[in-house]
Amino acid sequence: MFNNLTEKLTGVLERFRRQGQLSEKDLDEGLREVRLALLEADVNYKVVKKFIDSVKQKALGDDILKSLTPGQQVVKVVRDELVQIFGQKHADLNLSRYPSVLLMVGLQGSGKTTASSKLAKHLATKSQKKVLLAATDLQRPAAIEQLKQLGNRIGQPVFTEGKTPVQVAVGALDHARKNSIDVLIIDTAGRLQINEELMAELDEMKAKLQPSEILLVADAMTGQEAVNIAQAFDQRLAISGIILTKMDGDARGGAALSMVEVTGKPIKFIGIGEKPEDLEIFYPDRMAERILGMGDILGLIEQAEAELDHADAEDFVKKVQQDKFTLEDFRKQINQVRRLGPINKLLQKLPGMGNVEVDEKALTRVEAIMSSMTVQERKRPEILNGSRKMRIASGSGVQVSDVNKLLKRFDEARQMMKMLKHQLPRGAMRGGLRRR
């Protein structure tokens, strides 16, 4: 979502870095471009003004412009101010009550039902909580059935008994207490716009449930209107946090930069895709660094910790050290990496790689070629003669030249691994990520 903003900001900040000296005029010119980039990204103009004024004040103070590395110092100031806008530090969910009630609110179409199921999966798998979902959206046709299907998909129960939304919610709380449920997530109804009927219903739920959290689910692609919606819900219900959905979209993304500053309430999670696991904890510092092209190495490491097979990783290191790395191993490594998600999404978490595009179809062709080989051929690629290559090309829908290119690149990679193998100590992967 932030690709355009990242591209423009990194361009300005790189000019700051390259200059040996910075004058106040240089700073003003650069910040003018930063201001335009933020406004084009649909960031609230009041937030932009406060941000630019604060950056300029801090950049002119403490003799930053007179330092040996003024450009680097200004970049740090910009980064710190972005973190400030995002809320400084991560805000955990309040799960101190038993059961903890999470009331999900927002307009129709914001993604409440999907976000509810994603949050349920996150709490069940990452926090080992016993979760119950409650379907109180009796306004939208098929809303209950949608939540039931999502609940089945993630393996979490859904409570639906009751004639009114408040009855369903109260019944769900009673059921949660009787069945030792840790967290009750209430999926509420929405409207196309904020109205008194919607707010009165939510007021009654809040009074009877006494929720631990009131989480506003907001569509990040709504733009400036998302900020107005957040203000309205906060003024009436005193929301405790925000979940931003559709952060993988192609909108300008300024809502994410504005909502915390305008409401004073933290973003707690962001939705980054359609799958049940596509919900990320929101870290202000990591998001700021990703926007500035600094990547999110910690996020990538945590993702690898959760998804990758460490036994396979240890085996990979051993084979590199022993010069026994084969196409079969190469195929396994590609499968492991792809388990982390689309390659382009992974690149966004690497410093300076946020705007690099990888042809996913080319990677799929590579996998198809290797899948058309026998296990023996993958383990001993030297036996691949002309007839075998023709069979593999036919089976994978490519040309023989494509098979030869893969073999050549694999050989080059293996030669490179021979050069680097002494830099991989034995046991390098055994708990290595966890230690870092």
Rounded Cα distance, 347 and 42, in Å = 25
CA distances from 422 to 313, 320, 321 (A): 17, 9, 7
In the three-class reduction of DSSP (H, G, I as helix; E, B as strand; rest coil), residue 100 is classed as: strand
SS3 of residue 200 by DSSP: helix
Residue 428 has a pLDDT of 43
Q: Give, for 218, the enclosing helix (H) or strand (E).
A: strand 213-219
Query: Letter for the amino acid at 257?
Result: L
Strands 267-271 and 279-281, sheet pairing: antiparallel
Which residue has better confidence, 14 or 375?
A: 375
- What is the residue extent of each domain of the chain? 3-86, 100-294, 305-435
* Range from 71-75, 146-150, 298-302 that averages highest in pLDDT: 146-150
Torsion angle in degrees (nearest 10) through CA of 395, 398, 400, 401 = -160
Residue with the bigger pLDDT between 261 and 360: it is 261
d(CA 78, CA 334) in angstroms, rounded, equals 37
Residue 222 DSSP code:
G
How many percent of the chain have pLDDT more than 70?
78
Nearest residue to 229 via CA among 271, 203, 190: 190
Copy the structure tokens of residue 187. 């999926």
Instruction: State the pLDDT confidence band at 425, using cuts at 50, 70 and 90.
Output: very low
Instruction: Dump pLDDT digits (tens) for 384-405.
Output: 999 999 999 999 998 999 999 8
Cβ count near 343 (within 10 Å): 16
For residue 49, CA distances in Å to 31, 65, 255, 320 come to 11, 21, 15, 54
- How far apart CA 410 and CA 77 sit, in angstroms, is 44
By percentage, how much of the chain surpasses pLDDT 90? 27
User: Which is nearest to 269 in space by CA: 102, 148, 149?
Assistant: 102
H-type alpha helices, 254-385? 254-263, 284-291, 297-307, 310-321, 327-339, 343-347, 360-371, 375-379
Binning pLDDT at 50, 70 and 90, where does residue 430 land?
very low
Least confident stretch, 59-73, 121-135, 141-155, 344-358: 344-358
Residue 5: the pLDDT is 74
Tell me the C-alpha distance between 85 and 93, whole Å.
Answer: 20
> What are the tens digits of pLDDT across the range 67-76?
656 767 777 8
Options 3.40.50.300, 3.40.50.720, 1.20.1250.20, 1.10.3720.10; CATH for 100-294 is 3.40.50.300
* Residue-level pLDDT at 326: 82
Quick check: 138 and 144 in contact, CB under 8 A?
yes
Strand-pairing partners, residue 158, are 133
Q: What is the pLDDT of residue 220?
A: 77
Phi and psi at residue 391, to the nearest 5°: -65, -45
The fold for domain 3-86 equals Four Helix Bundle (Hemerythrin (Met), subunit A) (1.20.120)
Number of Cβ within a 10 Å radius of residue 310? 15
Q: Are 124 and 156 in contact (CB under 8 A)?
A: yes
pLDDT at 357: 60
Stretch 51-78: mean pLDDT: 76
Which CATH number is associated with domain 305-435? 1.10.260.30
The model's confidence at residue 359, banded by pLDDT at 50, 70 and 90, is low
For the chain, the first-to-last Cα distance in angstroms comes to 29
pTM score: 0.67
pLDDT digits over 22-39, tens only? 778 888 888 888 888 888
Backbone phi, then psi, for 213, in 5-degree steps? -140, 140
Q: For residues 367 and 331, what is the distance between their CA atoms, to the nearest angstrom?
A: 7
CA dihedral sign, ordered 352, 358, 360, 366: negative
Q: Residue 432: its pLDDT value, please?
A: 42
Q: Which residue has the higher pLDDT, 390 or 253?
A: 390
Q: Provide the token pair at 82.
A: 């972005």
Q: What is the pLDDT of residue 427?
A: 46
pLDDT digits (tens, 9 = 90+) for 8-17: 777 777 777 7
